[in-house]
């Protein structure tokens, strides 16, 4: 109770500003313009004027309460790029005018073993996500990047390489780190054959990053229409997963597979593509369990694992890696008033490969 009281007392003392945002008040209600409160920058805060915000499938899941944990009103958006407009007195990493980025987290306990290991995404107390998490400053819920501005502790603000297109960089803050982290963790590199399952917002980033790491990249897709696009993105080969003969081509040969599919699919068909001691990491999030046959992992000492985003240090590392290799997301730019249509298209897979909102459209 004391912690709650302290939060409430702190919230009453903080000065706030009203900013425009786009969000929803219920699962069945379309997103629309609303006003939200942002705190003024405290001593360690960076205030960012949002230029671009990527649209993640998690935004849609949360807005429509498909994961059954949404608190309304909710303002989605965790792929944020903008300009610093103010900083707190103790901020040392950023100054007014800098380009800055904010990803999926805006805070954590900073004291547990995982936070101390730069794995804030696994914070034992639960990381504070950019939206729909408890806001320890204002005593409400955090609001995301579908808004004019955001205020974040400098420890969770990221630098953007100067050579990268800012709009196309926005999706790196989720799709980029979600694919980079497992590829790095499982030591993907030269001499390895790596499979990417699914060519969507995550999968297309996986192709680019795995190729830049030096791996031979094989894309698995159900869509004939994506074959040439996969090769354009850097794939060395493409397998149509509905074709049993094509699925035999790499059976027992792949060192690592990144599975970016969020729909139901036969995970055993892909475990069978792994060589001895190979690993498959799931970054997609199917709603229903995926049955795993015992012999799919026993035969060959294979591993079936999962991964999510990375910590702040690794996210910064990912941005530097993308800057070095000139990697950004393939995007379609939209205005904020097109977001509901974008969600409809997202459900159909009708985007190549990530929507990004031009936030200037909210400020008019």
Domain with residue 66: its CATH number is 3.90.180.10
Find all residues with CB under 8 Å of 160, minimum gap 6, and list them.
Answer: 81, 99, 100, 101, 166, 169, 319
Q: Number of folded domains in the chain?
A: 2
Looking at residue 7, its pLDDT comes to: 47
- The SS3 assignment for 287 reads coil
Tokens read off for 328: 């950004």
**189 and 136 in a common domain:** no
Place of tokens 């599975």: 259
For residue 189, give the CATH number of its domain.
3.40.50.720
Sign of CA dihedral 267, 270, 272, 276: negative
**347 and 234 in a common domain:** no
**351 and 226 in a common domain:** no
Find all residues with CB under 8 Å of 71, minimum gap 6, and list them.
Answer: 132, 141
**162 and 40 in a common domain:** yes
**225 and 122 in a common domain:** no
**What string of pLDDT tens digits covers the 364 residues of the chain?**
344 445 445 544 678 889 999 999 999 999 999 999 999 999 999 999 999 999 999 999 999 998 899 999 999 999 999 999 999 999 999 999 999 999 999 999 999 999 999 999 999 999 999 999 999 899 999 999 999 999 999 999 999 999 999 999 999 999 999 999 999 999 999 999 999 999 999 999 999 999 999 999 999 999 999 999 999 999 999 999 999 999 999 999 999 999 999 889 999 999 999 999 999 999 998 878 999 999 999 999 999 999 999 999 999 999 999 999 999 999 999 999 999 999 999 988 899 899 999 999 998 7
Looking at residue 13, its pLDDT comes to: 67
**61 and 184 in a common domain:** no
Q: Taking Cα atoms as reference points, which of 108, 105, 110, 89 lies closest to residue 47?
A: 89
**284 and 229 in a common domain:** yes
Find all residues with CB under 8 Å of 301, minimum gap 6, and list them.
Answer: 276, 277
Cβ atoms of 341 and 351 closer than 8 Å: no
**191 and 208 in a common domain:** yes
Q: CA 40 to CA 197: how far, in whole Å?
A: 44
**105 and 203 in a common domain:** no
**299 and 208 in a common domain:** yes
| DSSP state string for 224-272 | GGGHHHHHHHT-SEEEETT-HHHHTTTTTTEEEEEE---S---HHHHHT
**164 and 23 in a common domain:** yes
- Residue 45's domain spans which residues? 2-174+310-361
Q: Which of 261, 284, 306 is where one domain is finished?
A: 306
- The SS3 assignment for 170 reads helix
Looking at residue 363, its pLDDT comes to: 82
Tokens read off for 300: 């060959």
pTM for the structure as a whole: 0.93
**151 and 103 in a common domain:** yes
């Amino acid at each position: 109770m004391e912690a709650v009281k302290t939060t409430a007392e702190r919230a009453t003392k903080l000065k706030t500003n009203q900013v425009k945002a786009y969000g929803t008040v219920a699962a069945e209600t379309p997103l629309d313009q609303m006003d939200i409160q942002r705190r003024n920058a405290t001593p360690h805060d960076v205030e960012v004027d949002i230029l671009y915000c990527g649209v993640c499938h998690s935004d849609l899941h949360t807005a429509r309460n498909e994961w059954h944990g949404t608190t309304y009103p909710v303002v989605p958006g965790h792929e944020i790029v903008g300009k610093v407009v103010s900083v707190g007195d103790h901020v040392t990493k950023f100054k007014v005018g800098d380009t800055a980025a904010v990803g999926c987290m805006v805070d954590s306990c900073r004291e547990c073993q995982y936070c101390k290991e730069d794995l804030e995404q696994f914070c034992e107390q639960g990381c504070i996500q950019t939206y729909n998490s408890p806001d320890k400053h204002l005593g409400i819920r955090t609001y995301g990047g579908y808004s004019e501005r955001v205020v974040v502790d400098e420890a969770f603000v990221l630098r953007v390489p100067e050579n990268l297109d800012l709009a196309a960089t926005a999706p790196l803050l989720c799709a980029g780190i979600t694919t980079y982290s497992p590829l790095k963790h499982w030591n993907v590199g030269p001499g390895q054959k790596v499979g990417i399952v699914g060519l969507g917002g995550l999968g297309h980033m996986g192709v680019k990053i795995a190729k830049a790491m030096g791996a031979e990249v094989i894309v698995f897709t159900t869509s004939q229409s994506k074959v040439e696009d996969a090769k354009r993105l850097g794939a060395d080969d493409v397998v149509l997963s509905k074709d049993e003969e094509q699925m035999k081509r790499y059976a027992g040969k792949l060192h690592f597979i990144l599975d970016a599919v969020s729909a139901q699919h036969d995970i055993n068909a892909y475990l069978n593509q792994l060589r001895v001691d190979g690993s498959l990491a799931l970054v997609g999030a199917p709603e229903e369990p995926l049955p795993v046959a015992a012999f799919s992992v026993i035969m060959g000492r294979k591993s079936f694992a999962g991964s999510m985003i990375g910590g702040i240090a690794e996210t910064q590392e990912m941005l530097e890696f993308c800057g070095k290799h000139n990697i950004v997301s393939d995007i379609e730019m939209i205005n904020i008033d097109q977001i509901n249509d974008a969600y409809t298209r997202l459900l159909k897979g009708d985007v190549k490969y990530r929507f990004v909102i031009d936030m200037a459209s909210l400020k008019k």
